[in-house]
Structure 1
Amino acid sequence: MSKNGKLNIYLYAKCGTCRSAVKSLQAKGWELEQHDLFDQGAPSIEELRTLVERSGLELKKFFNTSGEVYKELGLKDKLPGMTEEERLALLASNGRLVKRPIVTDGKKVTLGYKEDVFEQEWGA
């Protein structure tokens, strides 16, 4: 057992930003349960709904807007006309659409990697 406990992190293993986040969290003593969004796929609709609620962020923030799939599907123009359920289903259908990393301890959630936010939320 690590000194801080366990965190779930949704990431892409080859992503430099994700690797930095993992290194930062491990250095602070967190044990990480890693979920690769490309290999294992996106979280389920229910998991995503919970992550969004606990993050306090809008659902649209969970989309990887700089990703190829987002651009190929023309989501910049399509998302505004979609319902929340349609957006959740779309995110759950393709891990490449999910902004990363997502970190959670089951109570709070952070999205993306910013050192100051990680320091504040995870002491990392």
Structure 2
Amino acid sequence: MKQLLFIEYPKCSTCQKAKQWLDDHCIAYEDRHIVENRPKRDELAAWFFQSGLPLKKFFNTSGLLYKSMGLKDKLPSMTEDEQLDLLSTNGMLVKRPLVVSNSRILVGFKPKEWESLI
């Protein structure tokens, strides 16, 4: 298996907990700052399709940017293409942490789900 890609915002406490979880379980990963190296549209599309999750799960719905843009009301009327375009404009719109492996995409930190990585 290739190394995991761990996409995070270092100041995010949930990301810090998730990173500690990976370290505690001796899981190797490549670390990527979600703002400095934001996910590209084609990456987001591939992860979305691989995950099988609704696209809304990839949005950081508790984030200030999401709220200030009024996305709760706008997303339902947007196409998936429009949502992917929007997600790719700013890493702070993307739910984090995001873990990408060749077999799984994990969005957010839920230790029970993450146990599948071990």
Q: Matched residue of 2:7: which SS? A: strand
Cα 1:5–1:49 shift into 2, 3 Å: closer
Q: What's the counterpart of residue 103 of structure 1?
A: 99
Deviations 1:63-82 (A, max 9, x none): 00010100111101111111
Give the Cα–Cα distance (whole angstroms) in 2 for the partners of residues 29 and 5 of structure 1.
15
Q: Which amino acid aligns with 2:3?
A: K
Percentage of identical aligned residues: 43
Alignment counterpart, residue 30 of structure 2, candidates 7, 29, 33: 33
Q: What's the counterpart of residue 117 of structure 2?
A: 122
Deviations 1:9-63 (A, max 9, x none): 111011111111111112222211111112222x111100111111110111100
In the TM superposition, residue 102 of structure 1 has moved relative to its aligned partner by 0.7
Give the alignment's TM-score, normalised by structure 1: 0.89
Q: What's the counterpart of residue 4 of structure 2?
A: 7
Alignment counterpart, residue 16 of structure 2, candidates 3, 19, 31: 19
Give the alignment's TM-score, normalised by structure 2: 0.93
Matched residues, number: 118
Unaligned runs of 5+ residues in structure 2 are none
Alignment counterpart, residue 78 of structure 1, candidates 74, 77, 81: 74
Q: Matched residue of 1:13: which SS? A: coil
Alignment counterpart, residue 54 of structure 1, candidates 30, 50, 53: 50
Give the Cα–Cα distance (whole angstroms) in 1 for the partners of residues 112 and 94 of structure 2.
22
The alignment status of 1:44 with 2:40, answered yes or no, reads yes
Unaligned runs of 5+ residues in structure 1 are none
Q: Which amino acid aligns with 2:117?
A: W
Give the Cα–Cα distance (whole angstroms) in 1 for the partners of residues 25 and 7 of structure 2.
18
Q: Matched residue of 2:86: which SS? A: helix
RMSD: 1.3
Q: Residue 2 of structure 2 contacts residue 102 of structure 2 at CA under 8 Å; is this kept in 1?
A: no
